[in-house]
A and B are shown apart, each in its own frame.
Chain A
């Protein structure tokens, strides 16, 4: 069935370090792919999305490229900040209206000053 596999956390980095969080998916057809972020005590926010193969989603310095050949959607940021500390979820929307979302297990990111 449809699924999302995400890199286990927690991940701890120093400020200005390079970040990669791996995500691979299994799905029929050509779904959209998302990254959501959850800051402490808050709900989820859509960070970025890609709707077709080779699309690159970007927002707030984060990027992810939809790779159909490797079924991957890895999240990257060139220089992380303390304010990036949060839990990141890779996600796969399903259904005719894409309203059912399958989430990865989440990766907790902590950035040291």
Chain B
């Protein structure tokens, strides 16, 4: 079974631009979560999408947005880039079933390394 894939793997942008990152989950997974990893702040949760709806959200400004398509693929968009947005962006997929609380293991992709100049 193919793992979580993220494209592109590396990206260089300048301040003020916008960027779109893509994540393809494992086949059959309906939940996609996004995380930002920086040396200073560590790993921080951005948001989670399940069945094309945002189900959970972290504490990031509105410049960070996402969406999920009917095939569960997800995109993350960052508008008006700032130097501090330079980070490794990780996406994770899981079955994400709702109802009685069970743990659904999240499988992480290799990440997209974004550099803002």
Q: Do they bind each other?
A: yes
B90, A44: Cβ atoms closer than 8 Å: yes
For the complex, give the distance between the alpha carbons of A70 and B32 in Å: 33
Query: Provided the pairs A44-B90, A51-B103 are in contact, do residues A99 and B43 lie with their beta carbons within 8 angstroms?
Result: no
- Enumerate chain B residues within 8 angstroms of A98, measured Cβ to Cβ: 101-104
How big is chain B's contact interface, by range? Answer: 20 to 34
Q: How many A-B residue pairs have CB under 8 A?
A: 66
Query: Provided the pairs A97-B31, A98-B104 are in contact, do residues A103 and B50 lie with their beta carbons within 8 angstroms?
Result: no
Minimum Cβ distance to chain A for residue B89 (Å):
11
Chain A contacts with B in 81-113, Cβ cutoff 8 A: 89, 93, 95-106
A43 within 8 A of B: yes
**A–B pairs, 25, beta carbons within 8 Å:** A32-B103, A42-B110, A43-B4, A43-B108, A44-B90, A44-B92, A93-B103, A95-B56, A96-B98, A96-B101, A98-B101, A98-B102, A98-B103, A99-B33, A99-B48, A99-B56, A100-B48, A100-B56, A101-B33, A101-B35, A101-B106, A103-B35, A103-B43, A104-B42, A106-B42
Q: How many residues belonging to A are interface residues under a CB distance threshold of 8 Å?
A: 23
Binding site for B on A (CB under 8 A): 32, 41-46, 49, 51, 89, 93, 95-106
A105, B90: Cβ atoms closer than 8 Å: no
- Enumerate chain A residues within 8 angstroms of B109, measured Cβ to Cβ: 43
Minimum Cβ distance to chain A for residue B48 (Å):
5
